[in-house]
Structure 1
Amino acid sequence: MVNIDLFSEPRESGVHRFLKSKFDRKRAYFVFRRHYHRALSMIARRKLPPDFANHKVIFIHIPKSAGNAVTQSLFGKSSLSLGAHRRATDWQRAAPDVFAECFKFTFTRHPVDRFVSAFAFLKQGGMTRADAQWRRAFLSGCDDIHAFIDRMRDPSFCNEVVNYVHFIPQWKLICNRKREILIDFVGKYENLGSDFDYIREKIGLGGILTKDNVTDPEFKGDQVLEASEIDFVAHLYETDMTLFGYAEQP
């Protein structure tokens, strides 16, 4: 039986290396990679990480919403070791009875602010090998966020962006296809301190919330959007804006 490590970045196969050599800057490679990793997630996932199962909790890590700080403070572990950015539907399909018994929670972030943070994070290299490859393929030539948004006006390029994990609409991680929320508590990055305290008391775990994986604030602070660009991003994430009660201005 093949032993698959679900909590680390999948190793590149020979097929991966071949496609990478031929299409490193092409969308085809990343379309393949996205579906390949999604299939691994759905096929190989059979049980919750012990930290979740033992405490009957599930944390859905929405990228760029302080997820690593939350898992380090609650469980003393990185998000990568706890399933990373698995969707609620992944956990539900894997173990529906356990999923129903667990207290499930997440943190959302204003879509415009999250978009800027994701761009800055990836522009500076990201965290994983996949992030670095994505940066080379999709951020080359985008010296700032204005150039990036200009490129996103191309529908095919925009589609690739919003299907990459750091830019994926937040509702897709915690809702079903009907856009019904599947989890018990949706905290907000904007209320991180008080919402984290509620979680800590609710599950009886954790210490002081620490900072982790923080994007360079100076670089991020330089990425100031114009009004038309804010409108573009807000429209792109319209469901997130409405479902989670965000006003257009972050």
Structure 2
Amino acid sequence: MLLSPKHRFLFVHIAKTGGTSVRAALQRRRWADPWYWPMFLCSRFSHLSGHRIATKLPRHAKVVAAKELLPKEWFDTLFKFAFVRNPWDLQVSSFHHIRRERPQFLGGHDDFAGFLRWKLDPGRRYQFHVDTSIELQTDYLMDLHGNIVVDFIGRYERLEADFDEACRRIGLTQVQLPHRRQAKDRAHDYRSYYDADTAELVASHFARDIALLGYAFDPADD
């Protein structure tokens, strides 16, 4: 999550949706924000206290955390936005990310189908690096009453165009989106990773995301 008092925006960072690039682009503008250094110092103190003083919103915090923490009149003035991603594609990206950077969390499953079935098993022990990628993306966008409270939902599939639109609404110009964490170890088409059973596993688990965000598996043409 990225908050800018000067530019009055709140970026809700959902994992594996291009958020690292968005943060990198917007972070540079925060350095000119007169609130940046007080916020930075508070963040350091929060870290030293084990975040017990609650002055730092976590990187992947849901918008409800900011809504409950910030004064209502201030929260309502912020331009709140996030990026989402096709759930089937996101799961492929998550698999390769964990296999590449945190293989100890694969649970002994080095193939995508086996890992996905294990990952979506409700009886599996919770693991942060695994479970953040199976939380519903719409949970990040909603308040406690199930209302979507972000003002703009961009899509990973058109990241640059939607980032430009978010910057236009914020009032920022000439902000270049860097390309960060581009995977080179996966097939381009996420659909090639699935069979009918694993595709249905994702469809069932992420049914609300698929319905509210308008995603589909889009099977390849015969």
TM-score by length of 1: 0.67
- Which residue in the other structure is 1:88 paired with? 63
**Is residue 82–residue 154 contact of structure 2 (8 Å, CA) maintained in 1?**
yes
- Measured after TM superposition, the shift of residue 213 of structure 1 is 2.2
1:193 paired to 2:160: yes
- Which residue in the other structure is 2:93 paired with? 117
- Which residue in the other structure is 1:74 paired with? 26
- Which residue in the other structure is 2:203 paired with? 234
- Measured after TM superposition, the shift of residue 106 of structure 1 is 0.5
Could you list the runs of 5+ residues in structure 2 that have no partner in the other structure?
31-42, 44-55
User: Which stretch has the larger CA shift, 236-245 or 205-214?
Assistant: 205-214
In 2, the alpha carbon distance for the partners of 1:213 and 1:84 equals: 16
- Which residue in the other structure is 1:210 paired with? 178
Q: Which amino acid letter does the alignment assign opposite residue 69 of structure 1? A: S
Q: Which amino acid letter does the alignment assign opposite residue 173 of structure 1? A: Y
**Is residue 14–residue 60 contact of structure 2 (8 Å, CA) maintained in 1?**
yes
Q: 1:238 to 1:161 in 2, by over 3 A?
A: farther
Q: 1:115 to 1:86 in 2, by over 3 A?
A: same
- Measured after TM superposition, the shift of residue 75 of structure 1 is 2.4
**Is residue 241–residue 248 contact of structure 1 (8 Å, CA) maintained in 2?**
no
State, as a whole percentage, how many aligned pairs show the same letter: 28
Q: Paired residue for 2:83, among 107, 124, 135?
A: 107
In 1, the alpha carbon distance for the partners of 2:29 and 2:187 equals: 26
- Measured after TM superposition, the shift of residue 184 of structure 1 is 0.4
> What is the total number of aligned residue pairs between the two structures?
191
TM-score by length of 2: 0.75
**Is residue 58–residue 103 contact of structure 1 (8 Å, CA) maintained in 2?**
yes
**Is residue 120–residue 220 contact of structure 1 (8 Å, CA) maintained in 2?**
no
Q: CA RMSD in A?
A: 2.9
Q: SS where residue 107 of structure 1 aligns?
A: strand
Q: Which amino acid letter does the alignment assign opposite residue 196 of structure 2? A: A
More helix by share: 1
**Is residue 162–residue 168 contact of structure 1 (8 Å, CA) maintained in 2?**
no
- Which residue in the other structure is 1:65 paired with? 17
- Measured after TM superposition, the shift of residue 91 of structure 1 is 0.4
- Measured after TM superposition, the shift of residue 167 of structure 1 is 2.7
- Measured after TM superposition, the shift of residue 88 of structure 1 is 0.5
- Which residue in the other structure is 2:213 paired with? 244
Superposed CA offset, 1:136-160 (max 9, x none)? 2x41311111111232463212876
Q: Which amino acid letter does the alignment assign opposite residue 85 of structure 1? A: H
